[in-house]
Amino acid sequence: MTLAANEIFSRSKALPDIDGYTVLCELGSGTYGVVYAAVDSLSDAPVAIKRIDTGLLCEVEDAHRVLTELRLLRLIDHEDVLRLRRVCVSLERGTIDIVTDRFDSDLHQIICANDNLTDDHHRILAFQLLRGLAFLAGCGVVHRDLKPHNILVNRNCKLVIADLGLACPIASLCRQAERGCNMHYVTTRWYRAPELCGAFARASPQSDVWAAGCVIAELLSRRPMFEGRNDREQLALIVRFLGTPPPEKLREVANARTRSFITALGTIEAPSATRWREAFPSASDDAIDLVKRMLAFLPGDRITATEALSHPYFASLAAWAHRLSEHEEAKLAQMIATKCNTEGDAKMTLESVMSEIHAEDFFALQYKRGHFFGDTLMAS
């Protein structure tokens, strides 16, 4: 739906007064509240404001998801990750207003509405997606919910990764796995990696690479790659396309039930070049090769996001494949592991999570491109 259409649709609705912003219309609603299109009254910058009604946060997990996203967005500053502009918390109204940059659409809408995207469009969108993933991986963060709906795009083909509510530092995932917690969960099944469907490895940056491979495949073909109705069907669809892993690879699947399930599917040959071409009839050979490398069955066999940026498909964009130095990445990863540690959050009550959101040091130092600066978070 276009912005103009949204304005007409929401004309009869009462729009909230949000200090410092002119609210234009409602963009949509979700589980926890409503998203509005607005304009910054000082800079005239277009923004999106997600107003969360704290009364809808019925479970501690709901509040924790909001808290996790705020913690990460306060620390992460990268051109390919949605930028947090401001947070306003009102205990009196029972609301949390999260202000971010506003984008024209999400990738799902782009894929559904556009049948005239060129190889150049595909390339620049895929490049930004992988550059953002490479940054998150370098910072020790796993997104865990990558899908077209969570990738925002502007008319000029600028892309950002959004919705970090399920994102988690790798260190926290490792500690939780050691305690026997379920670390295989990723929200959207169609983009779930084999190791998560088959519960034989925890979520990792390589799980994000699989999801990104499915997203890029969908961008190229305009249809989801694997549309399973449950984890078993999802895993079966993957094996039937990629083929049965050879015995030495199958032995790396640590879950005996998953190994038996894959074996019971019979011996399925790996797809030929013709099969890949049939799946992506309009894609370039380099684009198909990239997807093929991202959709390797075992996480250790997949290309990493950083390696993908050097793939021949992106040869014309090599000059834009910049990243933080190893020292800067390590410093930011340590800060995220410390400040976004979810170790004790399982014991938090809903009230304590909300109190922590409100009590955050909203002028805490934030890391940005190699130096520190004061962020713009404010409490009301």
pLDDT given for residue 57 in this prediction: 75
Per the model's pLDDT, the better-predicted residue between 108 and 352 turns out to be 108
Domain boundaries, the chain: 3-102+344-374, 105-320
pLDDT given for residue 94 in this prediction: 80
**Top mean-pLDDT range of 58-67, 77-86, 172-181:** 77-86
DSSP code at position 344: T
Q: For 259-272, how does the pLDDT look when each residue is reduced to its tens digit (9 = 90+)? A: 999 999 999 999 99
Distance CA 282, CA 221 (A): 8
Q: Identify the band that residue 173 occupies on the pLDDT scale cut at 50, 70 and 90.
A: low
Lowest mean pLDDT among 50-59, 81-90, 295-304: 50-59
Report residue 63 as tokens. Answer: 């509040």
Q: Identify the band that residue 235 occupies on the pLDDT scale cut at 50, 70 and 90.
A: very high
Q: Which fold has domain 105-320?
A: Transferase(Phosphotransferase); domain 1 (1.10.510)
Known active-site residue 145 = yes
CB neighbours of residue 366 within 10 Å: 18
Instruction: Kindly state which CATH superfamily the domain 3-102+344-374 is placed in.
Output: Phosphorylase Kinase; domain 1 (3.30.200.20)
Q: Identify the band that residue 146 occupies on the pLDDT scale cut at 50, 70 and 90.
A: very high
Closest CA to 284 of 364, 203, 216: 216
Distance CA 278, CA 220 (A): 12
Q: What is the model's pTM?
A: 0.84
**DSSP state letters, 280-337:** STTS-HHHHHHHHHHT-SSGGGSPPHHHHTTSGGGGGGGGG-----HHHHHHHHHHHH
Instruction: Indicate the average pLDDT of the chain.
Output: 82
Q: For 212-231, how does the pLDDT look when each residue is reduced to its tens digit (9 = 90+)? A: 999 999 999 999 999 999 99
pLDDT given for residue 29 in this prediction: 83
Q: For 183-215, how does the pLDDT look when each residue is reduced to its tens digit (9 = 90+)? A: 445 568 999 999 999 888 888 999 999 999 999
Catalytic choice (97, 145, 208, 345): 145
Q: Identify the band that residue 113 occupies on the pLDDT scale cut at 50, 70 and 90.
A: confident
